[in-house]
Amino acid sequence: MRDFLRWQKRNLVTLLMLAPGLASFFGLFVYPILVTIVRSLKPEGQSAGWTLENYINFLSKPSARGVILLTFILAISSTLLSIVLSVPLALILREKVRGHRLLRLTILVPITVPGLIGAFGLLLFWGSRGWVNLFLTQFVPFIHEPIRVNYTIPGLILFYVWHYFPYTCITTLSTLESLDRSIEEAAAVAGANGWQVLRHIVLPLIMPGILAGSVLTFMAAFGSFSIPLITGGNYRPLSVEIYTQIDVFTPARWSMASAMAIVMAALQVVFLSLYMRILRRPAA
Amino acid sequence: MTTARQYLQAIFNAKKLLIYTFLLSFFLYVMSPFAMILAKSVGKDWFGRKWLPPTLTLDWYRWAVEVAGIPEITKNTLIIAALAVAISTLIGIPTGWALGRRSIPGKEVLMSIILLPRMIPPICYALGVARIFYRLHLVNTHIGVALAHVAICAPYAILVLSSTFEGLDERVLEAASVCGANAVRRFFHVILPLVMPGILSSMIFTFTTSYNEFTLTLMTFGPRTVTLPIRTYLAVGEGYWEVTAAMSVILIIPSFIVLFLIQREVAPEKLVGGFKGV
């Protein structure tokens, strides 16, 4: 009996310790989501009655498909490009080349500075009067007119990669550094050349790290808001489209915005669970 | 034979050159935007095809301070960040301790549930937060904006602190008891010094998250709680790019200080879970 009481007391203490975390989780996340779901099921501007028309209106519009497609195109292509950038970078930085400390610090910059500042700087740098176009028009033959980068889809992808590649890169680098060098040496001794070691030994071993990092990049790119808000121009992915509903329209279309937010969250969850399932599958 | 060797040497040199070109272009890709912001913020009459502004000026900084009210806005930002850090740490310490050191059924599931706010795009629940805060009159107050930030800061504080507490070695605590330390002494002289780095890194991360947070601030700010990212966003919209550049330079200084601290004190891979792009 006394043991039982002690056990119960211990559980109570544990629960009390968990309470602040659970309170913030339910109060600042679950409750807002529930409010959003309820709002999305109400007719626009009214508090009575239930309806699905917000979802139907949003999903039946041809533009909605375009918006969702754009969101996925941006997120997927920037994730793939991040991998393409990160793997060689990580392979080089592992060798402790000259200046590798500075470069490691450089990788952290995009995720430490406010995203807006980065986006603003990128707009200046890639703009028609920016240094990139100055370089192209002055030093590259056959280019006399500035190339339009800002407010185009390739430009947006370029900016997304700038902002979100560090997740992939840092994970890849840390996986690579925890790798046992003797495996590669064994392969080299067995007669594999540099390319074969890379292709058959190193890449398969660091694949889990690359994929785990790319999930983070994908998540961040899918939910990205401030970057497309100021660099997107006419290309508005879901997050910006949601904000437009309450910022541009008067009266604000809260129900529509809520329905879109729920669709976005659902897409994110579905895509992530698919991704996780692929990740868990035994290495191909 | 010598020609073959020279040929191989040439390939080797070219490979080295290729690697350094790659690294240099990567460095320029990441860092040039900041150099350009800096040039823009001190430049005057910078039109047309010029690499650098023809005349230098500090006028835009004066504008940023006098017209855009940067000191007031910095004060707001720091108050909000301090509140968010304090609240998240107070939430993170007990919950992190429970998750790190006590036996809880379904701990893994609980942990991933608590981390959900970092996986769902913030805009999805920012709408709900805004509606609730309007009703509670929390919009346009410092504590309200800070609470909105806690939604995204607290999960990370819990994650970092629970792994810190989990790493505490039971044997060290026992040794302290054996050597005659009572509970109070043990707490101040053994546990606290051991967990302090973890608490500090959690505070650094939550500070940066709150300092950079844009989405949740945009949904809950008012005239009295404009923060630096919001002001920058408004300035970009207003089109005074030189003043925006000057503001960005001011806004970026704390970020670089944090970056320096992180590089010295914390392993960078811990960061990955820490920051979420906004």
Contact between A29 and B125 under an 8 Å Cβ cutoff? The reply is: yes
Report if residue A130 sits inside a domain: yes
H-only helix segments in B67-121: 70-101, 107-114, 116-119
Distance of CA A232 to the CA centre of its chain: 16
The structure tokens listed for A4 are 């039982």
- Residue A137 confidence (pLDDT) above 80: yes
| B140: CATH | 1.10.3720.10
Q: What pLDDT sits at residue A284? A: 43
Q: Which residues of A touch B92 (CB under 8 A)?
A: 21
Does B11 touch chain A if contact means CB atoms closer than 8 Å?
Answer: no
Contact between A225 and B123 under an 8 Å Cβ cutoff? The reply is: yes
Q: What pLDDT sits at residue B48? A: 66
Inspect the interface and report whether the beta carbons of A125 and B276 lie closer than 8 Å: no
Of all helices (H) and strands (E), which one includes residue B55?
strand B55-56
pLDDT digits (tens, 9 = 90+) for B44-80: 877 767 788 888 888 888 888 888 888 899 999 999 9
Kindly report the pTM of this predicted structure: 0.88
Report if residue A162 sits inside a domain: yes
Number of domains in chain A: 1
Which whole number is the average pLDDT over A185-190? 87
Taking Cα atoms as reference points, which of B207, B99, B117, B205 lies closest to residue B158? Answer: B99
In a shared domain, residues B103 and B38: no
Q: What pLDDT sits at residue B29? A: 94
d(CA A53, CA A62): 16
In a shared domain, residues B83 and B194: yes
In a shared domain, residues B134 and B79: yes
Of all helices (H) and strands (E), which one includes residue B44?
strand B43-44
In a shared domain, residues B127 and B156: yes
Taking Cα atoms as reference points, which of B205, B192, B221 lies closest to residue B255? Answer: B205
pLDDT digits (tens, 9 = 90+) for A207-262: 888 988 898 899 999 999 989 998 888 889 999 999 988 888 878 889 999 999 99
Report if residue B82 sits inside a domain: yes
- CA distances in angstroms from A85 to A78, A91, A96, B234, B274, listed in the order given: 10, 11, 18, 33, 22
Inspect the interface and report whether the beta carbons of A246 and B236 lie closer than 8 Å: no
Instruction: Mean pLDDT check: name the lowest of A64-68, A239-243, B133-137, B270-274.
Output: B270-274
Q: What pLDDT sits at residue A282? A: 56
Contact between B223 and B18 under an 8 Å Cβ cutoff? The reply is: no
In a shared domain, residues B104 and B174: yes
Angle at which helices A153-177 and A100-112 cross, to 10°: 130
Look-up: residue for tokens 């002001």?
B231
> Which residue among A97, A163, A219 sits closest to B119, beta carbon to beta carbon?
A219
| A79: CATH | 1.10.3720.10
What does pLDDT average to over chain B?
Answer: 85
Q: What pLDDT sits at residue B217? A: 92
Q: What pLDDT sits at residue B104? A: 83
Contact between A170 and B271 under an 8 Å Cβ cutoff? The reply is: yes
pLDDT digits (tens, 9 = 90+) for A79-126: 999 999 999 999 999 888 888 888 988 998 998 888 899 999 999 999
In a shared domain, residues B115 and B151: yes
Range of the domain at A150: 62-280
Q: How many CB atoms lie within 10 A of CB B106?
A: 8
Report if residue A173 sits inside a domain: yes
Does B254 touch chain A if contact means CB atoms closer than 8 Å?
Answer: no
The structure tokens listed for A133 are 């176009």
pLDDT band, residue B132 (cuts 50/70/90): very high
In a shared domain, residues B92 and B24: no
Angle at which helices B2-42 and A115-126 cross, to 10°: 110
Inspect the interface and report whether the beta carbons of B208 and A112 lie closer than 8 Å: yes
Range of the domain at B47: 2-57
Give the DSSP per-residue string, A11-50.
HHHHHHHHHHHHHHHIIIIIHHHHHHHHHHTSPTT-SSS-
Of B10, B28, B57, at which residue does a domain stop? B57
Number of domains in chain B: 2
Taking Cα atoms as reference points, which of A56, A12, A36, A94 lies closest to residue B125? Answer: A36
Q: What ipTM was predicted for this assembly?
A: 0.87
Q: Under 8 Å CB-to-CB from B86, ≥6 apart: which residues? A: none
Q: What pLDDT sits at residue A267? A: 93
Inspect the interface and report whether the beta carbons of B278 and A261 lie closer than 8 Å: no
In a shared domain, residues B98 and B21: no
- Report percent pLDDT > 90 for chain A: 39
